[in-house]
A and B are shown apart, each in its own frame.
Chain A
Amino acid sequence: MTATITRGLTGVGAALAIAALLVLSSGKNPLVAYEALAQGAFGSPDRIAVALNKVAPYLLTALGVALCFRARVINIGGEGQIALGGLGAAWVALTIPAAPPVVLVVLSALAGAVAGAMWAGLAALIRLTRGVHEVLVTLLLNFVGVLLVAEALHGDLGEPGAGFPQSPLLERGAWLPKLVKGTDLHVGIVIAIVAVFVVHRVLWHTPFGFRLRVRGASEKAAAYAGIDMHRSFMGVMLISGALAGLAGAIDVLGVHYRLIEGFSSGFGFTAVSIALIGGLSPLGVLPAALFFGFLETGALAMQRAVGVPSPLVSVIQGLTMVFVLAAIALGGARRRV
């Protein structure tokens, strides 16, 4: 655990230092740029709320990815699972708008999780019955998932006359409750943090989590241990899909209050980065997701204030990942699984 933190901090530090050189080379003062970045991320309660709202779906999706990767199941279908989660949540919220508020929001969020799980389950089914590698299946189902959302918005779920592929505004009863009055901060971050501890507990303290770790370490040992490879594959994919689906639902019910075409764009792959930087450990994923969320939130402010283009933030994210992964690879020989 301490190793994960040290690696993370070193990686972030090195990435910021190199990015500072880039800023310097474009004739801007990196300190000023970073100050604007920090202001944009932490400057006001509103900024923090925006950032934390961004962190929640990242965190949930990255947890699922981490769990899969631990079991050596390469699920890169977060994007599609998030999309389906958002679709499921919006569909339920629009189908039973008259339901009592608490019931409506809970059912919608659950529908998101179920839809995400089914999308991942479909990928798992194709893998297990047809033998197509999960990297291919989950990747390709991302496109299908995103297109399904578009299809729904251009059809029954779309808002008539909106001019943009989006659903009508959801009933207030389907909105996620706010955590702090007067800000946009919704309960998603709490759900995500609870999920961190639940997944941590499952991974390290249940026979199921143990089987996932054995499976990920050695397939031969897993067979010798009597682990049902198909069942554990399906199990971890369903959990991962449910977490991603919940992430999609939270974004729809907590930020947009409607389903929007392309709302999930980039989330799935960001989640993979976060899971890797977090050392595939549920507790490590938490700081990694916070870092990504706040960094991205501050990016636009930095661009406005100093004129440093916001994609610099992607450079920082990328460099952090390179450094952290390099550190993991270098110290990896005796790593515990």
Chain B
Amino acid sequence: MLEMRGIEKSFGAVRANRGIDVSIPAGRIVGLLGENGSGKTTLMNVLFGMVRADAGTITFDGRPLVHHTPHDAIAAGIGMIHQHFMLVPAMTVAENVMLGWEDAGAWLRHDAVAQRIAETSTAYGLDLDPHAVVGALSLGAQQRVEIVKALLRGARLLVLDEPTSNLSPPEVARLLPVLRKLRAEGRSVVFISHKLQEVLDLCDEVIVLRDGAVAGACPVAGATRETLATMMVGRELPPPLARVETTPGREVLIVSDLRALDDAGVERLHGVSFSVRAGEVFALAGVDGNGQAELADVIGGLREAMHGSISIDGDDVTHATVTRRLRAGLAHVPADRATTGLVSAMTIAENLALRESDAPPFRRGPWLDLAATRALADERIAAYGVRAEGGDALVATLSGGNQQKVILARELGRRPALLLAAQPTRGLDPGATRFVIDQVLALRAEGAAVLYISTELEEVMAVADRIGVMFGGRLVGVVSRDDADLTTLGLMMAGAA
């Protein structure tokens, strides 16, 4: 169905795609695996006409696609569903489907379109109300809106970029049959993912990219997690850091009966209490949107607590400024790396100074000590293995994993008593994920307390001493790692235990 031959694309000095050959047969689900920066997104953007390849040819259904635009790609029968949905939240499902679609008519045919959405929704089990406002839908339902959009536009090849990264397990479970049904009709699906297990469960074939080239392609039958992971990173992942036995010490973080509102003013946190001891990792599992984000913000000082208290090492910081929390020993790795944790248009050195520009070594007298900051940056870049030209490199030029290393270098470099890590591995490739986990465990071994918030159960199992599960703004259960099993945790996350 699709042949891409010799695709080359460079951005400046970076060769994102270096001669990629890919072929997608009809009626197959093909997994596209690769670390961040391996060229997956670039390849798909070339296919969809969002960037123009430097060299190479694309043939879709026997017809060449040359200098095409996304509009041409859609007309040819290619549908693309981005990781961040291209929907207008204030509009209804039907309006979103009509947006930019010629078949909607010059005078919009609301009812006809709504009718077709309803039919498609029933046929594929998408469960969509054409008149629902998109902003009020769950992320899973929004994704199904994107699928309907693509199907009604006649997509015979559907590209899904990290389709499961924002979904809860039940929503994922609902997406997969839809994709299988598409396959049964003879359509093809390109499934871009980091999650090996999903690829193994769903796909017929898998193509692995590494450093802008195809590292391997094989049928899924016979492939294992290990073989795929090895292809992706091109090396054996080192065995996990041995967990040092620690005896949990004093209670470093004590959170009691915390309540908070979300941005829209709705109470999202309904009285959460727990404590984290020195030398222990307390992990909070849960599907996104169950209050973890608000909890992290309140502890980090980015959101006002409506009720309850927080203390760090005996110091009541419930209403303290961010800076005072930092002095009390808090290190904070926020979930939103690019615009909260970092200023991407600033240098690595400046980002290291971000939260302490008023204190040594970043400040000397009334001035910023640029020399000392740069020296510290060079030292941290080496210590944390940040792949960058130097301390003066802009953070925006770094990959996601290296950006996270900059945050870790800043936060852990302070020798904190308490680390608050919110979704610290989101969007990172396995190598970078591994690095983050190793750093967290090393901090634990040094006797710090760690509150680790993640939606990835396996990760939670790997790092935690105790695991708490958040559901509906409450802490619905706490188990020690030795007693935890995935089934029970999964049930708790779904609010069923």
Chain A interfacial positions (CB closer than 8 Å to B): 204-207, 209-211, 213-214, 217-218, 220-221, 223-226, 228, 333-337
Query: Across the two chains, which residue of chain A brings its CB closest to B392?
Result: A336
Cβ < 8 Å to A, chain B residues 364-420: 366-368, 370, 394, 396-397
Contact of B394 among A210, A218, A221, A336 (CB under 8 A): A336
Query: Across the two chains, which residue of chain A brings its CB closest to B334?
Result: A224
List of 9 A-B pairs having minimum Cβ-Cβ separation, nearest first: A226-B322, A226-B323, A220-B340, A337-B345, A207-B357, A217-B343, A210-B357, A218-B339, A225-B354
- Please determine whether B340 and A206 come into contact, CB atoms closer than 8 angstroms: no
Q: Which residues of B contact A228 (CB under 8 A)?
A: 321
- Please determine whether B343 and A218 come into contact, CB atoms closer than 8 angstroms: yes
Bound CA span A130–B340, Å: 27
Q: Which residues of A contact B396 (CB under 8 A)?
A: 333-334
A-B contact count (CB 8 A): 76
Q: Is B326 an interface residue (CB 8 A)?
A: yes
Q: Is B341 an interface residue (CB 8 A)?
A: yes
Contact of B340 among A209, A221, A335 (CB under 8 A): A221
A-B residue pairs in contact (CB < 8 Å), sample of 21: A207-B357, A207-B362, A207-B363, A210-B350, A211-B357, A217-B344, A218-B339, A220-B302, A220-B336, A220-B340, A221-B339, A223-B340, A224-B300, A224-B302, A224-B340, A224-B341, A225-B354, A226-B321, A334-B397, A336-B345, A336-B346
Q: Which residues of A contact B300 (CB under 8 A)?
A: 224
Q: Is B342 an interface residue (CB 8 A)?
A: yes
Cβ < 8 Å to A, chain B residues 281-332: 300-302, 321-323, 326, 332
Q: Is B355 an interface residue (CB 8 A)?
A: yes
Bound CA span A221–B341, Å: 6
Q: Which residues of A contact B344 (CB under 8 A)?
A: 217
Known: A206-B368, A221-B354, A226-B326. A213 touches B340 (CB 8 A): no
Bound CA span A210–B336, Å: 21
Q: Is B358 an interface residue (CB 8 A)?
A: yes
Known: A206-B366, A206-B367. A214 touches B339 (CB 8 A): no
Q: Is B436 an interface residue (CB 8 A)?
A: no
Contact of B322 among A207, A209, A225 (CB under 8 A): A225
Known: A213-B346, A226-B326, A337-B346. A220 touches B368 (CB 8 A): no
Instruction: Determine the interface band of chain B, counting residues with CB < 8 A from chain A.
Output: 20 to 34
- Please determine whether B346 and A214 come into contact, CB atoms closer than 8 angstroms: yes
- Please determine whether B394 and A224 come into contact, CB atoms closer than 8 angstroms: no
- Please determine whether A224 and B355 come into contact, CB atoms closer than 8 angstroms: yes
Q: Which residues of A contact B366 (CB under 8 A)?
A: 206
Q: Contacts A223-B302, A337-B343 given; 8 further ones with Cβ under 8 A?
A: A207-B368, A221-B343, A221-B354, A224-B340, A224-B341, A226-B322, A334-B397, A337-B345
- Please determine whether A214 and B394 come into contact, CB atoms closer than 8 angstroms: no
Bound CA span A333–B366, Å: 32
Bound CA span A220–B354, Å: 12
- Please determine whether B353 and A210 come into contact, CB atoms closer than 8 angstroms: yes
Q: Which residues of B contact A336 (CB under 8 A)?
A: 345-347, 394
Query: Across the two chains, which residue of chain A brings its CB closest to B347?
Result: A336
Q: Which residues of B contact A214 (CB under 8 A)?
A: 343, 346, 354
Bound CA span A205–B323, Å: 21
Bound CA span A99–B249, Å: 72
Q: Which residues of B contact A217 (CB under 8 A)?
A: 343-346
Q: Which residues of A contact B340 (CB under 8 A)?
A: 218, 220-221, 223-224
Q: Which residues of A contact B336 (CB under 8 A)?
A: 220
Bound CA span A56–B341, Å: 40
Query: Across the two chains, which residue of chain B brings its CB closest to A224?
Result: B340
Bound CA span A209–B358, Å: 11
Determine how close the nearest CB of chain A comes to the CB of B459; give it in whole angstroms.
23
Query: Across the two chains, which residue of chain A brings its CB closest to B355?
Result: A225
